[in-house]
Chains A and B, each alone.
Chain A
Amino acid sequence: MKYIRQFGIILGVTCAGEACRYLIPLPVPAGIYGLVILLALLAFKVIRLEQVKEAGTFLIEIMPVMFIPAAAGLVTSWEQIRGILLPLCVIVPFTTGFVMFAAGKATDYMIEKKKGKRDE
């Protein structure tokens, strides 16, 4: 019963996220609204962590599998991609690495800076 209840709460929040998606004309998916709503509910202690923890952790653990159907759909877009395949083969790997570098290094730098200040 515990897991059904937990899953029920998560689905309820998902539903609230879908309502936001329906009402707010922005290209923000229901899952993102739901994430923010659940975080707020946890932060304001409306929901306790124990009420969603196991089901939430389980869903996150199996998350990679959920991407398989969409990713296999790459076969259907092959025709459209073929035209710009060569530039894509450069742009996609390069930008992915570059973003990781920029975001990671900037965060590292800021953390170190703050630490340095504290040590003084």
Chain B
Amino acid sequence: MNDFFLNSAAAGVVLSLASYFIGTEIKRRWKWPVLNPLLISIVLVIGFLLLFRVDYDAYNESARYLSYLLTPATVSLAVPLYQQMELLKKNMAAICIGILSGVLASLCSVLALSVLFRLSHEEYVTLLPKSITTAIGMGVSEELGGYVVITTAVIIVTGVLGNMTAEQLCRVFRIKHAISKGIAIGSASHAIGTAKAMEMGEVEGAMSSLAIVISGVCTVAGAAVFAGLY
């Protein structure tokens, strides 16, 4: 099975797509918020790899055409953003302050909890970029001397968590405007959360995309400052 995956350009993609399809079907049938299609498909893929003793690297290599599309897909986020340009211009101040609040909230809460749990400095800086998009977060963690592998894992878990809970949390927190929901989701859970924001609505999706960009860039500067605090 491992050899097959190593030599197949489709097996990894098929496995991923099939798991996601099963995930959406399960979600459709039971509609329970924890039954997030992305979470289900991740569990299914991991289960499959363990069951059939396929190395992760073999699967990842075979699924590379999926990962390949990630950069063009990120670029495409400009499309919904452009469509909401008027709304963006009209609410520029609110949006900027919202995203900055999110960035500060992230850095401060990681600092406070790291002190509380007596994490080492290396562990602390590993977690600082946890809310931003993977590629930026990895760079920040590396530069500050964190454990990049853990940063990547934490960023992905944060994203999946955001994707799973965004709709419910926005309701619980009584976040009212579609713009605010999008900003909240993008600031807290980057591109993986944005996938959910896109399902919630055009405005949510566009604002969430914008939040990825701005919060990512702000965190590069903010994390460097916060790294000196603990």
Q: What residues of chain A have their CB less than 8 Å away from a CB belonging to chain B?
A: 7, 10-11, 13-14, 17-18, 26-32, 34-39, 42-43, 49, 52-53, 55-57, 59-77, 80-81, 84, 87-88, 90-108, 110-112, 114
Contacts and interface: CB of A to CB of B under 8 A. Distances in A.
A77 B150 contact: yes
B180 A64 contact: no
Contact of A56 (B60, B76, B114, B153): B76
B184 A104 contact: yes
B63 A27 contact: no
A92 B130 CA distance: 8
Interface string B148-185: 01101110111111110110011001011101110111
B104 interface: yes
A99 B156 contact: no
Which applies to chain A's interface (DSSP): helix, strand, loop or mixed? helix
Given A65-B20, A71-B42, A92-B130, A98 B109 contact: yes
B94 A111 contact: yes
Interface of B: 12, 16-17, 19-20, 37-38, 41-42, 45-46, 49-50, 56, 59-60, 63-64, 66-67, 69-83, 85, 91, 93-95, 97-102, 104-106, 109-110, 113-114, 117, 119, 123, 127, 130-131, 133-136, 138-140, 142-143, 147, 149-150, 152-154, 156-163, 165-166, 169-170, 173, 175-177, 179-181, 183-185, 187-189, 191-192, 194-195, 198, 205, 209, 211-213, 216-217, 220
B136 A111 contact: no
B38 A67 contact: yes
Contact of B19 (A62, A68, A73, A97): A68
A53, A62, A70: residue with the most chain B Cβ atoms closer than 10 Å: A70
A77 B126 CA distance: 14
5 contacts: A92-B154, A100-B184, A104-B184, A110-B94, A114-B93
B56 A103 contact: no
Contacts of B19: 68
A103 B109 contact: no
Contacts, number: 320
Nearest to B181: A104
B188 A35 contact: no
Given A29-B135, A95-B106, A99-B131, A71 B93 contact: no
A104 B130 contact: no
Contact of A74 (B106, B140, B157, B165): B157
A95 B134 CA distance: 17
Contacts of B113: 87, 90-91, 94-95
A10 B31 CA distance: 35
Given A36-B213, A56-B76, A65 B98 contact: no
Contact of A100 (B49, B127, B170): B170
Contact of B79 (A7, A14, A27, A53): A53
Given A29-B133, A35-B75, A49 B67 contact: no
Given A43-B85, A59-B69, A99-B188, A75 B220 contact: no
